Structure 1
Amino acid sequence: MADTAPPDTPPDPTEQSLWRPLRLLQGAMDADIARIYAEAEIDGVRPSFVMELIRLHTRGPMTITELAESVQRTHSALSQKVAAMRAAGLVRTVPGADARSKKVALTPKARRIVARLAAEWQATEAALAEIEAEIPYPLSQVVGDIEQALRRRSFHDRIAEKLAEDPRWT
């Protein structure tokens, strides 16, 4: 038997979301990329690993901080991703310039597949360009327009203003 809320319970605000469709769309597209890897028998690679693997291939071993900066992610996020890539056998750590530093490097397994990953990246970008040509308002234009709007007034400030008007927040 399903739980039912008391009659005076307000509606669930999470039932509506302007962003959920975008997250679901990206998830579905990532699942299609993962399916490409599975069909090609490329094991252990997630679509979210590919940028970092290609970056390490083209630039060589980097510290987590260097890698994070190069892909515009936080150190924490990259540290978790590197741990997952290490568990998949795609990267390892090697000594850095001094005894205290370590660098992330590709394993032989990753070096064997990185050219295929670069081909997939380029094919994916070409497919996205094709999709953008089919629609009246390309996502890349949407992103640029949102960035301009946020330069005029930050997302933080917009949320804070709405919260200041909501008695539940104060």
Structure 2
Amino acid sequence: MADPDALDPSQQSLWRPLRLLQASLDADIARLYSEQQIDGLKPSFVMELLRLHARGPMTIAELAESVQRTHSALSQKVAAMREAGWVETVVGDDARTRKVTLTDKARGVIGRLAAEWRATEAAVAELEEEIPYPLSQVATDIEQALARRSFHDRIAAKLAEDPAWERTGE
């Protein structure tokens, strides 16, 4: 019988350590919220909450553009933030639009969230000083390499070499 790990290409992942690192960092931030009794707040909500505080109510499309996310992703996130009590949607400038706005609960902790954001950025800067090649530089270098040849094109070229990718009368 074949080794299941040998049959499972997901056992190899160059980016898994990065995903695990991000999850670990987010868990540490979430722990800070828990210690401060800021219940139900996910670290992934904070950018949008800070943006709404700074710029005021926005449509989902406006908010998505401001944080460089898709409308669909932001729509799902706003639904989760609304369910957790951090935002609400209100009628916009005309009856056809809805705007996302902070709740009193969010306004009550927004100063602490801004402080956490600043502290997190300072901690990341400190970490980057301790390592030989900062992650922010890695991201910039990857973006430049992808500008020369897209990720799509790189994957498509590899798939063109793999007979398993060929359509076979499925």
**Which category of TM-score, normalised to the shorter sequence, fits these structures?**
over 0.9
Change (3 A) 1:44 1:8: closer
TM-score by length of 2: 0.95
Q: Deviations over 1:124-151 (max 9, x none)?
A: 0000000000000000000000001000
* Other-structure match for 1:3: none
RMSD: 1.1
- TM-score under structure 1 length normalisation: 0.95
Counterpart AA for 2:115: A
Q: Alignment identity in percent?
A: 75
User: Greater helix share, 1 or 2?
Assistant: 2
1:158 to 148, 154, 157: 154
Work out which of the residue numbers 132, 137, 142 in structure 1 matches 2:138: 142
Which residue of structure 1 lines up, in the alignment, with residue 2 of structure 2? 7
Which residue of 26, 30, 35 corresponds with 1:30?
A: 26
| 1:37-81 CA distance string (max 9 Å, x none) | 000111111000000000000000000000000000011111111
Task: Tell me which residue corresponds to 1:108.
Answer: 104
**1:7 partner amino acid:** A
Unaligned runs of 5+ in 2: none
- How many angstroms apart in 1 are the aligned matches of 2:9 and 2:123? 35
Are 2:86 and 1:80 aligned?
A: no
Shift of 1:13: 1.0
**Structure 1, unpaired ranges of 5+:** 1-5
How many pairs are equivalent?
165
Q: Could you list the runs of 4 or more consecutive aligned residues of structure 1 that deviate by over 6 angstroms after TM superposition? A: none
